[in-house]
Amino acid sequence: MCFASAKSSSPTVASKKDVEFQEEEDLKSWMHKNGLPPCKVVLKDRQAYDSRHPPIHYVAASEDLQAGDIAFSVPISLVVTLERVLGNETIAELLTTNKLSELACLALYLMYEKKQGKESFWYPYIRELDRQRGRGQLAVESPLLWSESELNYLTGSPVKAEVLERAEGIRKEYNELDTVWFMAGSLFQQYPFDIPTEAFSFEIFKQAFVAVQSCVVHLQNVSLARRFALVPLGPPLLTYRSNCKAMLTAVDGAVQLVVDCPYLAGQSIVVWCGPQPNSKLLINYGFVDEDNFYDRLVVEAALNTEDPQYQDKRLVAQRNGRLTIQTFQVKEGKEREAILDMLPYMRLGYVSDPLEMESVISSQGPVCPVSPCMEYAVLNQLAAFFRERLEGYPTTLGEDEALLAECDIDPKKRVATQLLRCEKKILSRCLEATVDLINQLPDLSLSPCPAPYAPLLR
């Protein structure tokens, strides 16, 4: 991740800059010099996939730890927050509730600080972020920084569209950057540089934004201006996991980490990444957790607006806590429950007889008359939808398994394939659950009922 550097080609041998990384004062020494109390962690190296890049740093236990031990406690003076950046909590709240996110403000601040070079107080921290190049512990950048051809690794996944949408959102924030300059002019008087959009290109800003996104910590029970924080020794030096409960927390003027399990000296320390699905983990941090209890897919169902009884169905849906365009969260391992949750909404869309609709309106709860042929039609539509989703991927689940078994595979292709495999497993279990419900119908010789205004699925 380069906050404000010009474009350059990747070197084939260790560059002068990489040698400097090794020779200059390391991050932890700088932190101790500036108030970090004795702690129980050490920075270690993990070789990057690309040998042209310096190794990835990570935080490891410096001694054996037990659950409940404080691994480190970083004083707030070494934490970057909007309160510190903008100096005025009112301005911080105004900016982040208007057109700019916390991430954009933090990225802009660090870009200007980097322009000051070694004169910046934050130079050792910024140098560490540069070393990481926006990569997580798998040494993969967020898809927001992938090329168009690399994004094709995500073909078939809704994540591809999410990446493009997020990139457009970052561009909109870039176009609003000058707002920070004018609203917080006293802050930027210390920087003898041009206004943001003249000092930095969009590509430089996007790199900085993505890097900040990969390491920002969401602190709980603090003011809005301290909610998003950049914590040296925090991510990406800490490894994220979904099945861990340790979190960075704000305590008495510091941000500390209490470990939730024992560690042997030298082991990499992990923290909880929050209840995020793999799609968000990949976009935000560049990795996929295949043991992610919080993984899920979204299925969107919508009542057909051309249906003559659309307004009546809309009222029934609202009465039962549903919307005319309803999203259903299909959680990993809970696919059958998700299908059962969708059925009442789908049945409502299939009601066509006005008398039946009157009965539905007068009933209490999500009650629709269900004939065998209607249930067959509803389940048939769901099964066809899941098959179509699975057919939208260029590879099968088996082909993904074979690819991931290979050792020599591009890191971005590997992590993309991991995501696709997780999605396909959820969709396959949805299809299995739907087919199982079809096989439980009393008479499979019936034809599905016609549905001129069936709900729309995507």
Task: Look at residue 354 in the predicted model and tell me its pLDDT.
Answer: 85
Q: 276-309 pLDDT, tens per residue?
A: 999 999 999 999 998 899 999 999 999 999 999 9
Whether 216 has a pLDDT exceeding 60, the answer reads yes
As a whole number of angstroms, the distance between CA 220 and CA 127 comes to 28
pLDDT grade, residue 421 (50/70/90)? very high
Contact 272, 238 (CB under 8 A): no
Percent residues over pLDDT 90 in the chain: 59
Whether 151 has a pLDDT exceeding 60, the answer reads yes
Residue 257's φ and ψ, nearest 5 degrees, are -120, 120
Report the greatest alpha carbon distance in the chain.
Answer: 81
pLDDT grade, residue 11 (50/70/90)? very low
Task: Look at residue 366 in the predicted model and tell me its pLDDT.
Answer: 60
Task: Look at residue 452 in the predicted model and tell me its pLDDT.
Answer: 87
Task: Look at residue 6 in the predicted model and tell me its pLDDT.
Answer: 37
Whether 4 has a pLDDT exceeding 60, the answer reads no
Average pLDDT over residues 441-448: 78
| Most confident stretch, 2-16, 59-73, 206-220, 239-253 | 59-73
Mean pLDDT for the chain overall: 86
The DSSP string of 34-64 is: TTPPP-SEEEEEE--SSTTSPPEEEEEESS-
For the ranges 142-146, 328-332, 393-397, 443-447, which has the lowest average pLDDT? Answer: 443-447
- What is the model's pTM? 0.87
Average pLDDT over residues 410-424: 95
Whether 434 has a pLDDT exceeding 90, the answer reads yes
Contact 194, 224 (CB under 8 A): no
Angle at 230 between CA 227 and CA 236, to 5 degrees: 125
Task: Look at residue 34 in the predicted model and tell me its pLDDT.
Answer: 96
pLDDT grade, residue 404 (50/70/90)? very high
Q: 44-99 pLDDT, tens per residue?
A: 988 766 666 667 789 999 999 999 999 999 999 999 998 887 766 555 555 555 66
Percent residues over pLDDT 70 in the chain: 84
